Structure 1
């Protein structure tokens, strides 16, 4: 967070608006949130009619399917189920590759798919321990950095004031130019706030919360 000159900020905003163009008066058109139904077809496997699990893409045509679905299909067919592009005739599995990015998109847009799939894997490998794969995720064991949340799930945040370079040194000590007798000077610990909020909380609303919580003037810009 840092204080900005009001005039300079106004000029930057004017330039940004002019570059964006948009509707009458130079205003950008209102943002429209996309619905899941608009992209549902891009996240669904045509072989099982379900959302992608272990999304796998055919290299020749870039069409995607569930891994288990396309592997089973290629046992008796040598072409793409959608466009009929021919794959490797003798070793068709050489024509497919795992698509982690697409799978992450599915899990992030529909977190329940991730949760149910991890639960299903844990149940399966609990009964078939001799077949358990090496990867923790393949076994259904969720690690922290792979958690996906529904918009209404509760998450905990720790908010801490970030001093500018000319306000607080890296060692955490107050610079000599700051009057430590001033009651407005608070320790770093006292400036920490904790927030329990929905996972779907937008950055815009989080910034507004920070401004209110810290009592910041409107001349300050909040970066998250």
Structure 2
């Protein structure tokens, strides 16, 4: 009967909520779908820079692109934040400070605000990003506290597939949006702007590598753009019709 009233401490759950790689609490817990082992997102991405195997069990995750086999576990993240007091606030503050120091410069009139599919509102009433661009000083007012990032969406042609419907260039390629926007959202945005059929699939690439649907722009910037020595802004993402290698 006494055992029923035993109070559990956070350390009793550490085995389930700490990262195998860094030994700290899981930050943005990300699960490898092939073996269901979970790591901090930044830890597992850095590991996959050198290896295609799961660092815990050694299984080969993917022959060429293990990042495609990663999925964020938002439920586990919420559980960890509830178990560890102050962890959420600490991580959010560190993230805001990082992006404040590393935020790309505005590209003047080429910098546009995305307003569809979850991309933050651009202030104003959703015009085409015309001449009244209030100098970017009031961004915090209508972007909340989301860190912002500038990207350029380029059409990648000559994929070598005959008979494929081609995609065209966007009229306005430069976008400024939340760093938390995912590749899946960018694909929806492209499909809308290019008026593609709902069944039409696109690949989004950075530095020639296909990005997974769940990858955020922050994730791509940290692991593909910044770490590859790219110091130019905005970050360039390319899109093309999906290539079926099967």
TM class by shorter chain equals 0.3 to 0.5
Q: TM-score, normalised by structure 2?
A: 0.42
TM-score, with normalisation over the residues of structure 1?
0.45
Q: Greater Rg, structure 1 or structure 2?
A: 1
Query: Larger % of helix: which?
Result: 1
